Amino acid sequence: MLFVVLRKFIRIDVQDYDLVLLAALFPWTWFQTSLVIAVSSFAGNGPLIKKVYFPRFVLPLATVMNNGVQYALSIPVLVILLVTRGYVPNWTWLIGIPYLLAVEMLLIMGVVLLLASLDVYFRDLEHLTDVFVGLIWFYLTPVIYPLSLVPAKYHTLVLLNPMASLVEGWRAVFLRNQLPGADLWPALVFTAVIAAIGALSFKTMEGGFADAL
C-alpha cells in the first residue's frame, strides 16, 4: 500500500523504487518498533523488578533482539526480490550485512537503555517517543525517499541523522554491492556516544527502579 501511494499518487520517480523503499524500510522498522516497545521495558515490568533480582538490561535487550530476528528474517525476502530483478549479490554482502547489523543493534540498545531508564521516572516519555520516532524522525530519515532526491547541498546535513546514514548504508550493500563508506561515520560516532550514555544512564538509575515503580 505504501509503495502504491508513493509511486502512483505522489509519483516518486525512482528506478526499482519498491526495492529502494524496502531496503530502507525493513531496517527502519526494526529501529522504530524496538524503540516504541522497549521504552516501557522497565516501567511496564514493575512487579517483576520489585520481586526478583536479575540483570534488568535483558528486558529491553529481549525486545530489541526479537525485532532484530524479525528483520533478519525479512532479508531473504528482499534478496529474492533483488535476484528476480537482476541484482546479483557478491562478497560485500558477507561483510556489509553483519557490520550494519552490529552497528544498528548497538545504536538501538544505546537509545533504548537511555529512554527506558528515564521512562521509569518520566512516564510520558513513552508517548513522546512514539510521536517523535513515528512522525518526525521517520520523515527526517530517507526511508520513503532516497538520498538522491535531496538536493546535494543538504546531503551532509541529512546524513548527520544516524539512521539516515544507516539506511543509506543498507541501500549501498543491497542495491549497489558496495560496503558502507565515509557517509556512515555519523552513525558510527552517534552509536558510540549513545551506547556510552545509555549504559551510564542505566547503571546510574537502575538502583532506584524498584522504589520509583
> Which of the two residues, 162 and 206, has the higher pLDDT score?
162
Q: Kindly report the average pLDDT of the chain as a whole number.
A: 88
Query: Using CA of residue 18, residue 21, residue 24, residue 29, what is the dihedral sign?
Result: negative
Statement: residue 206 has pLDDT above 60: yes
Distance CA 208, CA 57 (A): 14
Reduced 3-state DSSP string for the chain:
CHHHHHHHHCCCCCCCHHHHHHHHHHHHHHHHHHHHHHCCCCHHHHHHHHHCCCCCCHHHHHHHHHHHHHHHHHHHHHHHHHHHCCCCCCCHHHHHHHHHHHHHHHHHHHHHHHHHHHHCCCCCHHHHHHHHHHHHHHHHCCCCCCHHHCCHHHHHHHHCCHHHHHHHHHHHHHHHCCCCCHHHHHHHHHHHHHHHHHHHHHHHHHHHHHHHC
| Residue recorded with cell 546524513 | 159
What average pLDDT does range 119-133 have in this prediction?
Answer: 89
Measure CA 58 to chain center: 19
Give me 74's grid cell: 525479512
Statement: residue 162 has pLDDT above 70: yes
Statement: residue 34 has pLDDT above 80: yes
What pLDDT score does 55 carry? 80
| Residue recorded with cell 540483570 | 55
Task: Dump pLDDT digits (tens) for 138-151.
Answer: 999 999 988 888 88
